[in-house]
């Protein structure tokens, strides 16, 4: 069973929600980040970048830096940029983008579900990053960005959410990335109990985004067994049907000293290659890739000998591309750390794959067919790990909208 709890969120007042909530700082280019910090005193970016224009700099990921984060967070509370709710609640949060609507429930989820294997993973975590995030929690005493968890659709949850979205939301604002945000507060005791009862019948959920945050929360809980609030962490539960998994495409600098003709001849060993018109092409099915080389698009269909149908990982398209073209033809053995490899989220479209080649940053780019939720779950259920950068999952959540305090 999945154990969740309501909590007293620390959050912006209604009139400042659009000014406080931010994307994670690493999503911003440096000049845009600077402009936001200079132009908006309310943005949560000031909390996570406490040394903006400060003279006494500290080293990243140190206790001294995290203490400054905590001090800035306390300043936000003293200035009433952030306030704690008086009653425990769940929070229904919706994003409406130009192409999709995402809606789910923000809650505290029990660390014991992760330790017991009921919160399923599909990525490795790095021990040092876990320790760093754990230290961050220990000093700052809050989660500001929820872990994204997905579960099999439950009609009862959908109906309860529908009942709320027919009412006025606590927050309603649109951000400059053309996303509309709504938040409803679920503080009614009957509805809270109903949500907890439904989740108690769910046997497992899957991490869509936030593996390191989850692992570090588990580490913190283990080190603070006496602290009840530490036994939970901030999560956003979204039904599988509402989640969107996009392709995560690749571009490669250099052809490993091969000419374009030699490269094409080499990869014919693994793929049936169709030369097409100059029109952009997206893969239309599993195990099909499209490739932009020179000024030409090609369709690549994987030959059956190179599809490992008996392996959840070996049958993934990112793994097939790595095992064939990237490794054996281009000599890229460590995709995560090889500087020749570039990753381009599918939301940027095929223009981005053409642009990186036309600008001579890369020599060839590949569009992949998106990994399905069924494949993701199979990887997690069989205790396997996906190749690096296999999925681009949305929604991407905001920091500082509902904060969970320890």
**pLDDT tens track for 310-349:** 899 999 999 999 999 999 999 999 998 899 999 999 999 9
pLDDT tens per residue, range 206-225: 999 999 999 999 999 999 99
From the list 300, 308, 291, 314, the residue with the least C-alpha distance to 271 is 300
Nearby residues of 261 by Cβ (< 8 Å), 6 or more positions away: none
Pairwise CA distance, residues 257 & 259, whole Å = 7
pLDDT tens per residue, range 240-273: 999 999 999 999 999 999 999 999 999 999 999 9
Percent of the chain at pLDDT exceeding 90: 92
Instruction: Report the pLDDT value the prediction gives residue 323, as an integer from 0 to 100.
Output: 95
Instruction: Report the pLDDT value the prediction gives residue 53, as an integer from 0 to 100.
Output: 80
Q: How confident is the model at residue 26 (pLDDT cuts 50, 70, 90)?
A: confident
| Residue 175 zone, left/alpha/beta (φ > 0; ψ -120 to 50; rest) | beta
pLDDT tens per residue, range 193-210: 999 999 999 999 999 999
Least confident of 177-191, 215-229, 267-281: 267-281
Instruction: Report the pLDDT value the prediction gives residue 355, as an integer from 0 to 100.
Output: 97
Instruction: Report the pLDDT value the prediction gives residue 205, as an integer from 0 to 100.
Output: 98
Asked whether residue 278 carries a pLDDT value surpassing 80, the answer given is no
Say whether pTM exceeds 0.75.
Answer: yes
Assess contact for 393 and 243: CB atoms under 8 A: yes
Instruction: Report the pLDDT value the prediction gives residue 394, as an integer from 0 to 100.
Output: 96
Q: Cα angle at 178 between 174 and 179, to 5 degrees? A: 60
Pairwise CA distance, residues 382 & 310, whole Å = 12
DSSP 3-state of 279: coil
From the list 359, 398, 377, the residue with the least C-alpha distance to 312 is 377
Instruction: Locate 261 and state its tokens.
Output: 């003709």
**Longest distance between any two alpha carbons in the chain, whole Å:** 68
Asked whether residue 49 carries a pLDDT value surpassing 90, the answer given is yes
pLDDT tens per residue, range 62-74: 999 999 999 999 9
Least confident of 162-166, 237-241, 307-311, 363-367: 307-311
From the list 117, 118, 121, the residue with the least C-alpha distance to 384 is 121
pLDDT tens per residue, range 83-129: 999 999 999 999 999 999 999 999 999 999 999 999 999 999 989 99
Assess contact for 233 and 147: CB atoms under 8 A: yes
């Amino acid at each position: 069973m999945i154990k969740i709890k309501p909590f007293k969120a620390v959050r912006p007042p209604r009139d400042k929600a659009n000014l406080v909530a931010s994307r994670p700082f690493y999503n911003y280019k440096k000049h845009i980040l600077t402009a936001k910090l200079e132009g908006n005193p309310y943005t949560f970016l000031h909390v996570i970048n406490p040394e903006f224009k400060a003279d006494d700099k500290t080293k990243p990921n140190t206790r001294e830096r995290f203490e400054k984060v905590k001090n800035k967070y306390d300043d936000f509370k003293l200035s009433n940029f952030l306030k704690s709710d008086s009653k425990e609640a769940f929070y229904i949060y919706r994003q409406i983008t130009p192409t999709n609507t995402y809606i789910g429930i923000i809650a505290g989820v029990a660390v014991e579900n992760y330790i017991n294997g009921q919160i399923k993973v599909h990525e490795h975590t790095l021990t040092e990053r876990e320790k760093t995030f754990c230290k961050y929690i220990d000093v700052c005493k809050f989660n500001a960005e929820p872990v994204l968890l997905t579960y099999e659709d439950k009609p009862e949850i959908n109906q309860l959410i529908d009942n709320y979205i027919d009412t006025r939301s606590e927050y309603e604002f649109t951000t400059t990335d053309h996303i509309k945000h709504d938040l409803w507060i679920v503080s009614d005791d009957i509805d809270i109990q109903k949500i907890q009862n439904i989740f108690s019948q769910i046997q497992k959920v899957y991490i869509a985004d936030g593996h390191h945050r989850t692992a570090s929360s588990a580490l913190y809980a283990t080190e603070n067994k006496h602290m009840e609030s530490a036994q939970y962490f901030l999560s956003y539960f979204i039904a599988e049907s509402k989640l969107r998994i996009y392709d995560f495409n690749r571009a490669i600098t250099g052809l490993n000293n091969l000419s374009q003709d030699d490269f094409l001849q080499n990869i014919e060993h693994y793929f049936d290659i169709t030369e097409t018109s100059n029109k952009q092409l997206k893969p239309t099915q599993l195990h099909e890739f499209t490739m932009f080389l020179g000024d030409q698009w090609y369709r690549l269909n994987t030959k059956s000998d190179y599809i490992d149908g008996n392996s959840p990982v070996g049958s993934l398209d990112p793994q097939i591309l790595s095992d064939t073209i990237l490794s054996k033809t281009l000599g890229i053995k460590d995709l995560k750390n090889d500087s020749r490899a570039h990753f381009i989220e599918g939301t940027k479209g095929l223009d981005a794959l053409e642009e990186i080649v036309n600008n001579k940053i890369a020599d060839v780019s590949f569009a992949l067919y998106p990994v399905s939720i069924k494949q993701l779950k199979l990887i997690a259920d069989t205790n396997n790990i996906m190749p690096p950068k296999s999925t681009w999952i949305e929604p991407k959540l905001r920091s500082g909208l509902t904060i969970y305090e320890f």
